[in-house]
Each structure stands twice: as structure tokens, then as C-alpha cells.
């Protein structure tokens, strides 16, 4: 994962948050990103990363290291049966977190320069997005 982050770091030109003014924000592409997690607790693990821009999208499921709580399943529609993940009853392909992050990092350069906007509807989602994408902002 360290090599992946190094590769991304070398390709980006990211202004600091205090230098993002409305003119800059209007001139760059925007990517809206959302994640799903195994629970609503702070120790939850990420099980899906999805993003959409004006012309492209990204959606990948991550092999969960622990069970998905009933409350998270009720919200996301994701369930784990044995080693298989299902979204509203349909089996989905799932990959290791490092693989999904590599794919997401490869997705980003097609949209440079861009601003990643998290669709954080809860504190937990906001916290997890911050942890996951702190190297992007």
C-alpha cells in the first residue's frame, strides 16, 4: 500500500485546503465519493468505495475482515454469507482493500485536477473518508 500511495503522491498537485477558493473550486472537476462500512461504530471497516464524476464512475466492494452488523446491513443492503458478499440479494465481487485502493488511485488521474467530495451523511462516514483519503486532500 505504501508504494501505491507513493505513486499517487508523485502524480498529484494538490493545493492545501486553505488555498481552495471558489474560483479554483469552480474550475476543477468534482468527484463525489461514498463508502460503506461494516458497522456504525468507530472501529468499522470499509466494505465499499463508490465514486462518480461527470463522465465516469467507480464502484468496488472490499473483502470485510469482520462480519457486517445488522444495522449497517439495514442501511447499505450489504450482507455477508460465509465468504461471499451480497447487495440486496445479488452476489458481488469483492477484493482486498489494497487492490481496491490501487484501482481507485488509478481512477483519479483521469480527472485531474479535481476535488474529491465525500457524501458523508454521518460522522462515521466522514471520519472513514478522512482516514482513507487524507492523502488526496
Domain architecture of the chain: domains with CATH: 31-133 (3.30.420.10)
**Residue 5 clears pLDDT 70, i.e. is over it:** no
Residue 55 has a pLDDT of 83
Sort strands 29-37 and 84-87 into parallel, antiparallel or unpaired.
unpaired
Average pLDDT of span 89-102: 92
Contacts of 133 by beta carbon, 8 Å cutoff, 6+ apart: 33, 116, 118
pTM, two decimals, is 0.74
Buried b (16+ CB within 10 A) or exposed e, 83-98: eebbeeeeeeebeebe
Task: Give the span between the Cα atoms of 84 and 29, in whole angstroms.
Answer: 35
Residue 124, SS3 per DSSP: helix
Residue 32 has a pLDDT of 87
Average pLDDT of span 10-21: 55
Instruction: Name the pLDDT band for 126 (thresholds 50, 70, 90).
Output: low
**Residue 2 clears pLDDT 60, i.e. is over it:** no
Amino acid at each position: 500500500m505504501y508504494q501505491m500511495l507513493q505513486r499517487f503522491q508523485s502524480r498529484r498537485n494538490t493545493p492545501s485546503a486553505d488555498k481552495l477558493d471558489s474560483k479554483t473550486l469552480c474550475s476543477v472537476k468534482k468527484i463525489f465519493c461514498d463508502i460503506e462500512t461494516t458497522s456504525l461504530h468507530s472501529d468499522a471497516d470499509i466494505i465499499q468505495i463508490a465514486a462518480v464524476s461527470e463522465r465516469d464512475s467507480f464502484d468496488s466492494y472490499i473483502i470485510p475482515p469482520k462480519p457486517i452488523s445488522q444495522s449497517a446491513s439495514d442501511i447499505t443492503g450489504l450482507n455477508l454469507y460465509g465468504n461471499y458478499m451480497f447487495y440486496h440479494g445479488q452476489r458481488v465481487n469483492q477484493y482486498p482493500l489494497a487492490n481496491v485502493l490501487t484501482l481507485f488511485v488509478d481512477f483519479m488521474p483521469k480527472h485531474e485536477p479535481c476535488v474529491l467530495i465525500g457524501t458523508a451523511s454521518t460522522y462515521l462516514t466522514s471520519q472513514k473518508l478522512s482516514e482513507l483519503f487524507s492523502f488526496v486532500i
